[in-house]
A and B are shown apart, each in its own frame.
Chain A
């Protein structure tokens, strides 16, 4: 049994989600190979070879794979994947974009966002915005799976010494082209990997008021997130959204400020170890999942909290 893990990377560096995906592969058991498909991705491949537990790194370095366009990457993965028992990718926007296309090319079902490995063919995954957990079994020859990072502790990034092997794949399929991207700049830790997350909702009232959360986050070394209400109101960009349709986080400490706690928001954060809610409405549903709740005006409580931590 050999497992192929699709590396999540920026060509120059490996994304942390790859380490969680390798951890899921290790739980399944068997040899683990990592595929790094990109353009000028030697640095990412080198980092992949150092991951503990990885037996081999396959590198497909081709201009066609530069931006991970699924029309180009999926045929490569499907072709390579035929010889493997499992193909795993992180359930990031990239993994979700590419992997179902691979599964359909291999004519197998895909299992999305697993949070636990029961056996080599049985997995657990949340459905209905995390309000139910399904145990699913696959009889597919190649099991194609995306992995929810917060369900698995990352393996060590150092300590391995895998062989690196170049592979070639099909060229540009000519169906799509990368035009451009706008990435939000932030010096704070990445939302999905942060140990502490401070999130604001509609109660923040405007984008300027998020400065209170940024100040608190900087003091705690935390990432800043938001509810859909705050994103839709234009307070913050959409990549900060936590929830069923945004990012799934499970930090040590999640501080929800001015967030009512709709089902869709809870789906993205209720696996956090400790949840703190600050809200002036004591009936807000967020208090039903909060370990520590403070009924108070956030504009008084947050600055005071910042001073005391």
Chain B
């Protein structure tokens, strides 16, 4: 079966971001960018399904600026077969992204779509679920285990109190949680080979999708800073401070 994986180019998770002085957003000039960690897990899961003989082809797709080709090449080096870039320089909201992905799904007809559960920049946790609604497919969000069995996929999900397993009819949408797998590293020969794999570039217009949004960001501020704390010398001093100064125990 064909598997479609959506990936996103985001600021590297180790970077401590700074808010711009004019409060228009976060300063991303000259900041290291990478594939969103949850998307890496999605690519890895697709590659493992291919290695098990369940998946026959892996198509990786991203929506973003031309530079997002780097993340597609990374996914190709990890084992994806071909890539699609939907090129847009606008900052798109989840619904617009889900609509663009729906157009790609209509064209590619995958049996399984794998996304990360959230992107670490916008922290929205929406796109997979929205794609579920637009396609009408079942959704297995926050997956920590995925098993394809015949025309169904069993997804074990991380929920607040523990784990829940659901069975979804294929085609279906899965969003990955951290513990689904440990993503591999791309080897140098595979990085070289990935340069020769096909990468198509399309535009939202060509897909016939409007990316208009009903939500706009008015400003972005730094969070309130915590006042500096103190170091205590002993456990006794700590308990004394908690009881008499902070009055929390």
Please list the residues of chain A having a beta carbon within 8 angstroms of any beta carbon in chain B: 67, 69-71, 74, 92-94, 96-105, 107-113, 122, 126-140, 174-184, 192, 196, 220, 228, 231-232, 237-239, 244-245, 247, 252-253, 263-264, 270, 273-276, 282, 287, 289-296, 301, 304-305, 308-309
Contacts and interface: CB of A to CB of B under 8 A. Distances in A.
A294 B231 contact: yes
A105 B137 CA distance: 13
A70 B132 contact: yes
Interface stretch (B1-9, B43-51, B79-87, B115-123): B115-123
B129 A294 contact: no
B146 interface: no
A94 B159 contact: yes
Interface of B: 11, 13-14, 16-17, 19, 26, 93-95, 98, 117-118, 120-134, 136-139, 141-142, 144, 154, 157-169, 172, 177-179, 213-223, 226, 229-232, 234-236, 238-239, 241-242, 246, 248-249
B160 A247 contact: yes
A179 B165 contact: yes
Query: A-B pairs with the 5 shortest C-beta distances?
Result: A100-B129, A104-B133, A104-B130, A100-B126, A140-B214
Contact of B221 (A93, A133, A275, A282): A133
A96 B166 CA distance: 16
A70 B136 CA distance: 11
A183 B161 contact: yes
Contacts of B162: 181-184, 237, 239
A308 B165 CA distance: 44
A263 B123 CA distance: 14
A132 B26 contact: yes
Contacts of A287: 229, 231
A137 B215 contact: yes
A238 B144 contact: yes
B219 A293 contact: no
Contacts of B169: 174-176
A296 to B, nearest CB: 7
Contact of B249 (A192, A220, A232, A282): A220
A239 B158 CA distance: 8
Contacts of B122: 127
B121 A128 contact: yes
Contacts of A179: 154, 165-167
B123 A296 contact: no
A134 B220 contact: yes
Contacts of A232: 178-179
B166 A101 contact: no
A136 B221 CA distance: 12
A237 B13 CA distance: 24
Contact of B164 (A67, A105, A132, A134): A67
B136 to A, nearest CB: 8
A111 B215 contact: yes
Contacts of B218: 122, 135-137
A132 B242 contact: no
B176 to A, nearest CB: 11
Contacts of B127: 100
A309 to B, nearest CB: 6
B231 A273 contact: no
Contacts of B157: 93
Contact of B126 (A103, A180, A183): A103
A308 B236 contact: yes
Contacts of B161: 183-184, 239
Nearest to B11: A128
Nearest to B246: A274
Contact of A137 (B95, B159, B216, B246): B216
A112 B123 contact: yes
Nearest to A264: B13
6 contacts: A112-B125, A131-B16, A237-B162, A238-B144, A247-B160, A308-B236
A157 B247 CA distance: 27
Nearest to B144: A238
Contact of A109 (B16, B94, B177, B248): B94
A275 B169 CA distance: 46
Contact of A128 (B26, B165, B226): B26
Nearest to A253: B248
A17 B113 CA distance: 31
Nearest to B132: A101
A289 B226 contact: yes
Nearest to B95: A109
A181 B140 CA distance: 14
A96 B16 CA distance: 26
A140 B26 contact: no
B246 A253 contact: yes
A108 to B, nearest CB: 5
A254 B219 CA distance: 30
Given A128-B17, A309-B239, A97 B221 contact: no
A140 B215 CA distance: 7
A245 B178 contact: yes
